[in-house]
Amino acid sequence: MAPSDDATIERLSLNKGGMTLVDADGARRLYEAMGPAREISGGSAANTLAGLAALGAQCAFIGQVADDQFGRVFAHDIRAGGIAFDTPAREAEPPTAQCLIFVTPDAQRTMNTFLGASQFLPAAALDEAAIAAAKVLYLEGYLWDPEEPRAAMRRAIDAARSAGREVAFTLSEVFVIDRHGDDFRSLIADGLIDVLFANHTELAALTGESELEAGLAALQDKVPTLVVTCGAEGAVALKGGERAQVPSVATTIVDTTGAGDLFASGFLYGHVNGEPLERCLQRGAICAAEIISHYGARPEANLKALMTEQLG
């Protein structure tokens, strides 16, 4: 992750504000083009679990890293956050996934992701006992792209449903919906998703409805809990005929990386503890405000203390 400017984004032909998949050569080229950078553990679902664990939830992560320096750092950081992580590191190539993030002065993050070892998460690596013991299985759309993790996620969904557990799913990015929207719509139609996270543009891409209210209406009877973030305008959620809406929490925006990930942390913490819909949204907004106030997508402030301070 490195500060950048619009001229660099344009010179490198990057998709400003979005996420683009790159290969190993592309990742190497972009790294060489970056200014002084910080190396911070990330990963969308891992970020969400880091926020949940910081709030006091018991979490376990299933994901694939390689037996290399980045993989060891990732494993150390996630375990240090109190999250169980037992997936064996992969000894073969490719290396651990990397996301090269350019942050412009307007706080927009432009992500360029080399999926690396994460593309080879085998279904056999799933801890189905842990899935059955959890209240919620949380999945990220980003990893629907490679074949092996997609198969693993389908198996994980089956394990969760068989155990009577909820499945939460984040759409992740518009380009993911462009590639796999039919799969996601099928999961929804088959009643396999209990909690769906999206931002406004992702909702539009999934439903074909550019207006927020029309997009909400298209899914309100298909997803038990629908959560949509709208940037500075806050967030809205629908659940069983109930609707709640909250504004964003005011903060100085430094880097928007992980805003959706940490919103999901706060919302899910409230959700698994049976809190009212509005309170779940408030928790999400507080977590998102914390994460965009600094570089990186892992919380730096004490999230528990922030909740007490702002919610009582």
Q: Domain of 228: which CATH number?
A: 3.40.1190.20
Number of domains in the chain: 1
Average pLDDT over residues 107-135: 95
Average pLDDT over residues 119-144: 95
Query: Is 276 a residue whose pLDDT tops 90?
Result: yes
pLDDT band at 108 (very low <50, low <70, confident <90, very high): very high
pLDDT band at 312 (very low <50, low <70, confident <90, very high): confident
pLDDT of residue 105: 96
Share the mean pLDDT of the chain: 97
Q: How far apart are CA 114 and CA 147, in angstroms?
A: 15
Percent of the chain clearing pLDDT 70 (strictly above): 100
Average pLDDT over residues 77-83: 98
Average pLDDT over residues 232-240: 97
pLDDT of residue 59: 98
Q: Strand, coil or helix: what is 171?
A: coil
pLDDT tens for each residue of 19-33: 999 999 999 999 999
> How many Å separate Cα 305 from the centre of its chain?
23
Q: Of 164, 242, 160, 236, whose CA–CA distance to 200 is shortest?
A: 236
Angle formed at CA 236 by CA 235 and CA 239, multiple of 5 degrees: 145
Average pLDDT over residues 89-95: 94
Q: Which domain holds residue 277?
A: 2-311
pLDDT of residue 297: 96
pLDDT band at 89 (very low <50, low <70, confident <90, very high): very high
Q: Of 189, 125, 194, 138, whose CA–CA distance to 164 is shortest?
A: 194
pTM recorded for the entire structure: 0.96
Q: Of 258, 196, 262, 259, whose CA–CA distance to 225 is shortest?
A: 196
Q: Which two structure tokens, joined as six digits, stand for 221? A: 């009877």
Q: Which two structure tokens, joined as six digits, stand for 237? A: 């959620």
Q: How far apart are CA 305 and CA 282, in angstroms?
A: 14
pLDDT of residue 141: 96
Percent of the chain clearing pLDDT 90 (strictly above): 98
